[in-house]
Amino acid sequence: MSDPLKAPIAAARASGALRQMTARGRGESHRVSTPLELFFDLCFVVAVAQAGARLVHAAGDGHPGHGVTGYLMVFFSIWWAWMNFSWFASAYDTDDVPYRVTTLVQIVGSLILAAGVPRAFDDGDFRLSVIGYVVMRLALVTQWLRAARSETGGARATALKYAVGVVVCQVGWVILLLPLGAPPVWAFLVMALAELSVPTLAERSAPTAWHPHHIAERYGLFTIIVLGESVSAATVAVQSAVDAHRALGDLVPIAVGGLLIVFSAWWIYFAVPIHGHLASNRQAFLWGYGHFAVFSSAAAIGAGLEIAVEQAVGASGVSMRGAAAAVTLPTAVFLLSVWALHARHTKRGPAQQSTLPVTAAAVVACTFSGSHAVLWAGLVSAGAVALGVILVARAAVHTPVAPSKEPTA
């Protein structure tokens, strides 16, 4: 007796609505982000915005330590789910109907997580956020199982290891977090380390076929989106403060300094292409994991600018120095993390290598410069960009040009 589903499945495969989920080539040309991936990023930034907003709220209520801890915990779940999707898509994006539907389910999970962020911050109740996180992660498990069904040999084993590892971690989250609501920090750290270990264990014998240029582009695009969210949050804060307090003179230095910081952050991140450095799993994974500091600090800059605006108009109990630190510290973390992940691989000589670390220290020192601390931090950041351009130009002048091998006419 014939299978009644056989003919429809065959037709779907023939039309492109259903494809075999086999690995894409690592050397594939013109491998760029898809519209679905860009949509995925934009939906995820909703959760990023929620985390930043609650950090501002916690700081304004006089609980900066609680706010930072909650922010880092929530941001880890956002970043890790985004990161796992991006690396899977780099290796296995089929862009067929099941893949698209499953990705949309992951987006739903991110929105559930975002809806649970206020409760997690205000009441220490992470249950709704955990539910959203588990939805995202289990949706990815179905993608790995589908890849395992299509693959053979080592690639099949790797896909199955991913699926099993992710499922085990989700069971751990449910056991540790759902009954209590408010997780002990040690329990969260244990589960975070378990999540981080899954890719390294799964790909030990047979790496997935992620694409270096595609991965570099995906991270770059998410950096742009997060920086854009910082600009948006700061703009709304300035507008609200002006409408409520008419304190434009106090806000101009913060607005100018904030824009200089964000513009400089963009320039510094994209100063050199990085995909050539992603030559192996070890290099790429360290680079990818390190972006937790890049993304979280970039988003925190926007939250810090909101705190600075509220402090300037007297709408927050944060001290002037505390408000300045809310901007300068994440800016310094961003500069140091970009130097560690990007700049140090391409800079030549002590002057180029020391520019970003010295700038980070100078930005932290701006914390103690009074009411114009944000403006000074912005000027220092912009000065680092200008210095970097000058140093690179000088190095190019003094670098001998190799003689052309092309025959002359």
Each residue's pLDDT tens digit in the chain (409 positions)?
A: 444 544 443 444 444 555 688 878 777 887 889 999 999 999 888 889 888 888 888 888 788 888 888 899 889 999 999 999 999 999 998 989 999 999 999 999 999 999 988 888 877 788 888 899 999 999 999 999 999 999 889 999 999 999 999 999 999 988 877 666 566 788 889 999 999 999 999 998 889 988 999 999 999 999 999 999 888 888 887 777 777 666 677 788 888 999 999 999 999 999 888 887 887 888 888 999 999 999 999 999 999 999 998 888 877 778 899 999 999 999 999 999 999 998 777 777 888 889 999 999 999 999 999 889 999 999 999 999 999 899 888 877 766 544 544 433 3
The residues, ordered by sequence, that sit 6+ positions from 52 with a Cβ below 8 Å of its Cβ are: 71, 229, 230, 233, 299, 300, 302, 303, 306
Domain boundary among 189, 209, 229: 209
Q: In terms of DSSP H, where are the helices of 246-319? A: 248-269, 281-312
- What pLDDT does 318 receive? 87
From residue 66, how far is each of 63, 124, 133, 257, 405 by CA, in Å?
5, 10, 21, 27, 63
> Are 308 and 374 contacting, i.e. CB atoms less than 8 angstroms apart?
yes
Does residue 197 share a domain with residue 81? yes
Task: Say if 407 falls within a structural domain.
Answer: no
153: its two tokens: 């040999």
In a domain, residue 409? The reply is no
Q: Are residues 193 and 232 in the same domain?
A: no
Q: Are residues 286 and 317 in the same domain?
A: yes
Q: Assess whether 149 and 282 both reside in one domain.
A: no
248 and 389 in a single domain? The answer is yes
- Looking at the domain assignment, is residue 261 inside a domain? yes
Q: Are residues 272 and 392 both part of a single domain?
A: yes
Write down which residue in 143, 178, 209 finishes a domain.
209
Q: Which domain holds residue 265?
A: 213-396
The model carries a pTM of 0.88
Q: Which of 157, 180, 209 is the last residue of a domain?
A: 209
Number of folded domains in the chain? 2
